[in-house]
Amino acid sequence: MKRELGPWQLTAMGIGAIIGSGIFALTGTAAAGTQSTAPSSWIDTPIFTLLAGGEMGRAGAGPAVVFSFLAAAVCCAFAALCYAEFTAMVPVSGSAYTFGYASLGELAAWIIGWDLILEYAIGNVTIALSWGDYFVALVGNLTGIRFPLWLVKDHGTAADILSHPEQLAAARLSFSSVDLPFGFAFNVPAMCVVALVTALCVYGIRESSRVNTAVVIVKIAIATFFIAFGAFYVNPGNWHPFAPKGITGILGAAPIVFFAFIGFDAVSTMAEESRNPRRDMPIGMIASLLASSVLYIFVSLVLTGMLPYTRYFDDAAPVATALASTGNRFAQALVNAGALAGMTTTLLVFQLGQPRIFMAMARDGLLPRAFSRIHPRFRTPMMPTILTGAVVAVSALFLDINASAALTSIGTLFAYLVVCAGIIILRRTDPHRPRSFRTPFVPWVPLAGIAMCLLLMIGLPVRTWIRFVGWLAAGIAIYVFYGSKHSGLRDTAPRG
């Protein structure tokens, strides 16, 4: 490959990969927490809070969510430096699964690949939920049409709204009705957008690089516009107290907003195209993380300054909620439309990526071979694409944004933890392998990455850990009873 990328180009690509739907979706719920609808139980409480003897439920960071963003960014910086070395050793197109398979072996690769399903599939549920809320806000702003609560919210969120007077009062102004006539609620817009995007993926329609770049610019412009416009509506009194739950709230929000940084590793995949990877790749990764963090911090400050942070409880469209309080219909429509455009492309990219991870695992024999087949007409992996779409669409009907974001974060954090540990292991087991980029200060940088991943992971609720352990157990069972017996390594191993 041509070595044409310098630090500026790598930084720009990193910013484009990082700035996504997370900032539009999760800042509000990270600031508000889950304690505004008591009672909460130990199972909905972060492990860190239980160890510290704090209140039940996930405490909100309040305006101090800015420090949660900083903690997540530092974690990503350490992991990115480790990820870059893997990419330099295995400079091929592919996911962390491919790098793990070539560098650490089959079992580690399977664990990473199984975790990536959480990052892509469940991450898409989070994006779809936010898309649905922004869609409802945009339709209401442009046409005045209001939907019933039971049609556009998952059951858990709808029940929380109905049981909390402040949220119920706001809901009466936003929805045509706030009752549950069938005793249940479904997020139909979120399901519909996933179905439509999946259909596009099956037919092989994907955005060109120019269109994708244009949408990235739109997302950055919309976030910048919100900062500039919303600053005039900030009430400094909403920033007091700045950290209502102290370090407990900050650590509880950090793994939630971590979702907003997923995608930073795109820079590390360009080692072969960097003019000076030893110098330019660290600059590109750290600079893009720093620039994105600054943007995120200003958005969160304006968001919590426009309204009390408690107003954003279980809100998948906090920016739309803040703008609605200004009464400026043009600003609402502009930001909602821009956020929808950005989230639609993110949905498309994730829905394209997940089936291809399935395809790579199937080619290695770890999943049924049918998952690796390309449709003769559409030239796409049809079976895993439809399966992924169905799982995401059904999950979007029922999951709330807190649960989906937490599952995505814990899966991704665990994968990054494995990557950091892998650098330490490979420096000992294979020290002479060519590396065009080497993680600096080994083992201290990988150890710091492991520590930060663990710190953010214990900031997640016990319920998320139970689901994650169950997910890992299911994955290991599939590997033991199917993958290990059909793997490509087993087929190519010499027979005695």
Q: For 93-107, 137-151, 286-300, 435-449, which range has the lowest pLDDT when averaged over its residues?
A: 93-107
pLDDT of res. 281:
76
pLDDT of res. 274:
75
Q: What is the mean pLDDT of residues 100-113?
A: 78
In-domain check, residue 303: yes
pLDDT of res. 204:
63
The share of the chain scoring above pLDDT 90, in percent, equals 31
Of the ranges 144-148, 154-158, 345-349, 376-380, which is most confident? 144-148
3-state secondary structure (DSSP) of residue 46: strand
pLDDT of res. 490:
54
Placement of tokens 């997640």 in the chain: 460
Query: What is the pTM assigned to this prediction?
Result: 0.84
Distance CA 291, CA 14 (A): 10
In-domain check, residue 223: yes
The yes-or-no verdict on residue 6 having pLDDT over 90 is no
Q: Return all residues near 420 (Cβ < 8 A) that are at least 6 apart.
A: 78, 79, 82, 446, 447, 449, 450, 453
In-domain check, residue 175: yes
Q: How many domains does the chain have?
A: 1
In-domain check, residue 379: no
253, 30 Cβ separation under 8 angstroms: yes
pLDDT of res. 268:
65
Of the ranges 64-73, 105-114, 381-390, which is most confident? 64-73
- CATH number of the domain residue 289 falls in: 1.20.1740.10
pLDDT of res. 76:
92
pLDDT of res. 93:
47
pLDDT of res. 115:
83
The yes-or-no verdict on residue 392 having pLDDT over 80 is yes
Tens digits of per-residue pLDDT, 12-43?
A: 777 876 877 778 888 988 998 875 444 557 78
In-domain check, residue 468: no
Tens digits of per-residue pLDDT, 178-192?
A: 888 888 899 999 999
Q: Return all residues near 484 (Cβ < 8 A) that are at least 6 apart.
A: 106, 490
Q: For 230-239, 288-297, 429-438, which range has the lowest pLDDT when averaged over its residues?
A: 429-438
Q: What is the mean pLDDT of residues 313-337?
A: 89
Domain that holds residue 271: 9-352+391-462
The yes-or-no verdict on residue 314 having pLDDT over 80 is no
Q: What is the mean pLDDT of residues 421-429?
A: 89
Q: What are the backbone angles phi and psi of residue 180, rounded to the nearest 5°? A: -115, 85
Tens digits of per-residue pLDDT, 151-181?
A: 999 988 888 888 877 778 878 878 999 888 8
In-domain check, residue 183: yes
pLDDT of res. 209:
47
61, 30 Cβ separation under 8 angstroms: yes
7, 326 Cβ separation under 8 angstroms: no
The yes-or-no verdict on residue 310 having pLDDT over 80 is yes
Residue 345 has, within 13 A of its CA and on its CB side, a CA count of 22
In-domain check, residue 2: no
For residue 134, CA distances in Å to 57, 176, 265, 461, 492 come to: 27, 16, 28, 27, 51
Q: What is the mean pLDDT of residues 117-135?
A: 87
Tens digits of per-residue pLDDT, 407-423?
A: 989 988 998 898 899 89
The yes-or-no verdict on residue 270 having pLDDT over 70 is no
Q: For 115-124, 167-176, 200-209, which range has the lowest pLDDT when averaged over its residues?
A: 200-209
Tens digits of per-residue pLDDT, 473-482?
A: 999 999 888 8
Cis peptide before 39 (omega within 30 of 0): yes
In-domain check, residue 309: yes
Partners of 478 in beta bridges: none
Q: What angle do CA 286, 16, 406 make, to 5 degrees?
A: 80
Q: For 80-84, 262-266, 329-333, which range has the lowest pLDDT when averaged over its residues?
A: 262-266
Partners of 274 in beta bridges: 5
Q: What is the DSSP letter of 37?
A: S
pLDDT of res. 60:
86
- Tokens for 209? 């690089």
- The overall average pLDDT reported for the chain is 84
- Ordered DSSP codes for 213-261: HHHHHHHHHHHHHHHHHHGGG--GGGGSSSSTTHHHHHHHHHHHHGGGG
Residue 346 has, within 13 A of its CA and on its CB side, a CA count of 35
